[in-house]
Amino acid sequence: MTWRFALVLEPAASDDPRLDFTETFTVIDASEPALSVGELSAQRGDGIFESIGVVDGHPQETTAHLERLVQSARICDLTAPNVPQWRQAIVAAAARCPAGESVIKLILSRGLDHGAYPTAWVTAAPAPDSTAARERGVRVVTLDRGYAIDTPARAPWLLLGAKTLSYAVNMAALREAKRRGADDAIFVSSDGFLLEGPTSSLILRSGGRFVTPEPGAGILHGTTQVSLFAELARRGFETAYETLPVTALAKADAAWLVSSLRLAAPVAEVDGAALAIDAELTASVNEYLLSPRD
């Protein structure tokens, strides 16, 4: 990914009453080194992030992404973000995005000295082309995530509900999926329940009813999934959050992996078995997901 724009934020207190935070932004050369060797995001992955889809210069679901950034900071005991400051930084980054699809990333790190001096920055880059995945679908394999569905409640220090920079496991899962001849993966709990993709949320349709795994199981609550459920409800469909056994995936009428950048990618195959694709509905929901949404 070629970064086209980057700025560093001097993190403001969450209750800072200023209306204009531009003096806290420093634009940097996105192609040049910018982090200290002591930066804990690089040394330990100790931080959080958000990836915001941008369509023709419009950042999508800004409010939902900022709410999740605040939630992740709380879970990880990081400095609470100043939401107006980050919103202004998003606007500044979006102004540098060309026509078409781009991605803005928000990063908040524990920084140096174990959080006494947090580091924050925002980047913008062209988004990868997801046309094939949206139109033809993705082949997935199910992979054991290695913990039971009640583990997040018993072990909150695992940070399973936060969007952390520690993505080594997620990337390893995608590599394993490719080794098995698939495009993506769906995590399942060790006791046999559906969770999420390494970088996406899972939605199933059964008989005109749309369901997604209950986020209380340590699943990252997806901004795209929430937005899509609101649109499906507006169209008259029933939506629900449920604890879903692995067998529900093969029995579904259709399934999708949804995310901020790829949007809705239909699942075409699960562990080698074909799954039906609803091309018309997929095109319709992706048209919605590409429309301006705040």
Each residue of 24-37: pLDDT tens digit? 999 999 988 888 88
Tokens standing for residue 226:
């929430």
Integer angstrom CA distances of residue 113 from 43, 109, 229, 255: 12, 11, 41, 45
Domains of the chain are 5-126 (3.30.470.10), 131-289 (3.20.10.10)
pLDDT at 181: 98
Mean predicted lDDT score pLDDT of the chain: 95
Which pLDDT value is given to residue 1? 63
Q: Are 170 and 198 in contact (CB under 8 A)?
A: yes
The model's pLDDT over 119-149, given as tens digits with 9 standing for 90+, comes to: 999 999 999 999 999 999 999 999 999 999 9
Beta bridge partners of 194: 188
Burial class of residue 131, CB neighbours in 10 A (0-12, 13-18, 19+): exposed
Mean pLDDT for 80-89 is 98
pLDDT score of 115: 59
Structural contact between residues 170 and 194, judged by C-beta atoms closer than 8 angstroms: no
**pLDDT score recorded for residue 114:** 67
Alpha helix segments (H runs only) across the chain: 40-44, 62-75, 83-94, 131-136, 151-154, 168-179, 223-234, 247-251, 279-289
Instruction: Provide the percentage of residues in the chain whose pLDDT is more than 90.
Output: 86
Q: What is the pTM for the complete model shown?
A: 0.95
> Model confidence over 198-227: pLDDT tens digits?
999 999 999 889 999 998 888 989 999 999
